[in-house]
């Protein structure tokens, strides 16, 4: 097939940027990375891009196609050619460009290092000198976060664009990988550090990272889990945490989000006083309901019952964050057959004891009920 591409070339020494068009003959199965290789081999040896494994393992070939981050070795060109599209390829966002499609990954690694991306088990020699064993089910809890490789999410992160110091989705997903590890003993210290300025509460929940992650890590879910764990450990002084807590309290007590009280509950009374003039302006135009008496929903008992049900099911901390079905299907995270300690072949459920509760326990029970 004939593959046409436009590539944003960049010469950092001269500071020049130019959009160049290329066309090459490529096999039907060719990926974007194969096409770039062909262009470099046959047409323009000066084209710069990174690659290593060619099989979605190393994370080196992150770049943008038509404005969205992709792994070049995971992107098949066949359908794009069939549609008649000529895609535009450019370097990843939020990182300085060195040349053409190559970015400087140092800011990415600096944030990675900032979350202490290694196990801190609180001992140097395992208990009684033996290895420290952990069940597969307990490791399932951090299975997704352990798959992280590339930086595509950082390229797409809106918060990072506004605040380059924001720790960002990849580093925070790595942080969750250790907060969720049963062997780690630095949980409180980690959660405190990740809850600081530029940390978990600075995420705007745009979900672009989750949408673009090629490995199903679901970094936004990882950030949500960190937030839930932080609150469970009473690390909740940040405005983001107070904001989230008020959503829960308000919906439980009245069945509504009482927005009039949201600002003082989030920012504190003193800071809120500075907003009085603005609030009065809103009230004048009928945009602020009177705070007293609080508006209670007619069926508030249902909201309370839902809250009680979730509390009774023990969905506390990270356990309360539902795993993304999209990611689970993408990585084929299904029940599998394994050999147990006694040598027997058994079915191991990803949501077995010690792991996360199943995201849809009610439906599952119905599925499993004898007819
Ligand atoms: S979370 Fe996904 S997109 Fe981000 S670095 Fe890890 S694998 Fe790449
Ligand atoms: S959800 Fe948060 S971390 Fe992910 S891209 Fe958006 S702002 Fe960044
Ligand atoms: S070359 Fe390794 S992930 Fe693409």
User: By alpha-carbon position, which residue is closest to atom 2 of ligand 1?
Assistant: 213
pLDDT of residue 327: 46
Range among 41-50, 235-244, 245-254 rated most confident:
41-50
Tell me the per-residue pLDDT of 306-364, one tens digit each, with 9 for 90 and over. 889 888 877 788 877 766 654 444 444 456 677 777 888 877 665 666 666 555 544 54
3 state SS of 232: helix
Q: Which helix (H) or strand (E) holds 250?
A: helix 239-254
Mean pLDDT within 180-194: 95
- Token pair for 143: 């299975």
178 and 120 in contact (C-beta within 8 Å)?
Answer: yes
CA distance 90 to 18: 11
Closest ligand 2 atom to 172 CA: 3
131 CA distance to ligand 3 middle (Å): 33
* 334 CA from centroid of ligand 3 (Å): 25
Q: Tell whether omega for the bond before 293 is within 30 degrees of 0, i.e. cis.
A: yes
How far apart CA 290 and CA 74 sit, in angstroms, is: 55
Among the atoms of ligand 3, which is closest to the Cα of residue 58?
Answer: 2
Segment 168-187 shows an average pLDDT of 95
Testing ligand 3's pocket by substitution, the residue of 34, 37, 56 carrying the most ligand atoms inside 8 A of its CB is: 56
Does 203 contact ligand 2 (Cβ within 6 A)?
yes
State pLDDT tens for residues 73-90. Answer: 999 999 999 999 999 999
- The ligand whose atoms approach the alpha carbon of 221 most closely is 2
Q: What percent of the chain shows pLDDT beyond 90?
A: 61
Q: How many CB atoms lie within 10 A of CB 295?
A: 13
61 lines ligand 3 (CB under 6 A): yes
Cβ within 8 Å of residue 106, ≥6 positions away: none
Q: What is the pLDDT of residue 311?
A: 83
Q: Output the CA 217–ligand 1 centroid distance in Å.
A: 6
Q: How far apart are CA 156 and CA 92, in angstroms?
A: 8
In 3D space, the residue among 150, 172, 160, 8 whose CA is nearest the CA of residue 94 turns out to be 160
Q: How many CB atoms neighbour CB 115 within 10 A?
A: 23
Question: What local confidence, expressed as pLDDT, does residue 323 receive?
Answer: 63
User: For the chain, how long is the longest CA-to-CA vector?
Assistant: 75
Give distance in angstroms: CA of 181 to centre of ligand 2. Answer: 23
Distance 57 CA to ligand 3 centre (A): 6
Q: Which residues contact 280 (CB under 8 A, 6 or more apart)?
A: none
**Cα dist from 23 to 26, 67, 215, whole Å:** 9, 20, 30
- Closest atom of ligand 2 to 206 CA is 6
State the pTM of this model.
0.85
pLDDT at 92 over 90: yes
**Ligand 2 atom nearest to CA at 156:** 5
Structural tokens at position 84:
């008649």
**pLDDT value of position 46:** 96
Contact 91, 9 (CB under 8 A): no
Distance 170 CA to ligand 1 centre (A): 5
Nearest atom in ligand 3 to 50's CA: 1
For the chain, give the mean pLDDT: 87
């Amino acid at each position: 097939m004939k593959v046409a591409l436009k590539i944003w070339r960049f010469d950092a020494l001269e500071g020049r940027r130019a959009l160049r068009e290329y066309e090459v003959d490529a096999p039907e199965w060719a990926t974007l990375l194969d096409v770039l290789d062909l262009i470099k081999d046959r047409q323009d040896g000066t084209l710069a891009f990174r690659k290593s494994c060619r099989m979605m393992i190393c994370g080196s070939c992150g770049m943008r196609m038509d404005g969205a981050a992709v792994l070049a070795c995971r992107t098949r060109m066949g359908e794009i050619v069939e549609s008649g599209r000529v895609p535009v390829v450019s370097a990843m966002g939020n990182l300085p460009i060195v040349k053409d499609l190559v970015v400087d990954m140092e800011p990415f690694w600096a944030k990675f290092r900032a979350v202490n991306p290694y196990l801190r088990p609180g001992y140097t020699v395992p208990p009684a000198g033996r290895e420290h064993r952990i069940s597969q089910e307990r490791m399932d809890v951090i299975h997704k976060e352990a798959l992280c490789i590339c930086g595509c999410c950082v390229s797409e992160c809106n918060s990072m664009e506004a605040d380059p110091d924001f720790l960002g989705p990849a580093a925070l997903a790595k942080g969750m990988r250790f907060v969720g590890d049963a062997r780690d003993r630095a949980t409180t210290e980690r959660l405190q550090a990740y809850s600081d300025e530029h940390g978990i509460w600075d995420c705007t929940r745009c979900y672009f990272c989750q949408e673009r992650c090629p490995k199903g890590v679901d970094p936004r879910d990882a950030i949500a889990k960190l937030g839930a764990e932080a609150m469970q450990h009473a690390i909740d002084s940040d405005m983001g945490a107070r904001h989230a807590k008020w959503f829960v309290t308000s919906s439980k007590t009245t069945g509504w989000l009482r927005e009039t009280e949201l600002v003082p509950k989030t920012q504190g009374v003193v800071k809120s006083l500075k907003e009085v003039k603005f609030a009065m302006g809103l009230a004048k135009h009928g945009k602020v309901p009177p705070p007293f008496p609080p508006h209670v929903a007619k069926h508030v008992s249902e909201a309370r019952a839902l809250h009680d049900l979730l509390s009774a099911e023990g969905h506390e901390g990270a356990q309360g964050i539902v795993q993304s079905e999209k990611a689970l299907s993408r990585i084929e995270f299904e029940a599998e057959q394994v050999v147990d300690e006694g040598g027997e072949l058994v079915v191991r459920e990803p949501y077995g004891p010690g792991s996360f509760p199943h995201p849809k326990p009610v439906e599952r029970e119905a599925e499993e009920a004898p007819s």
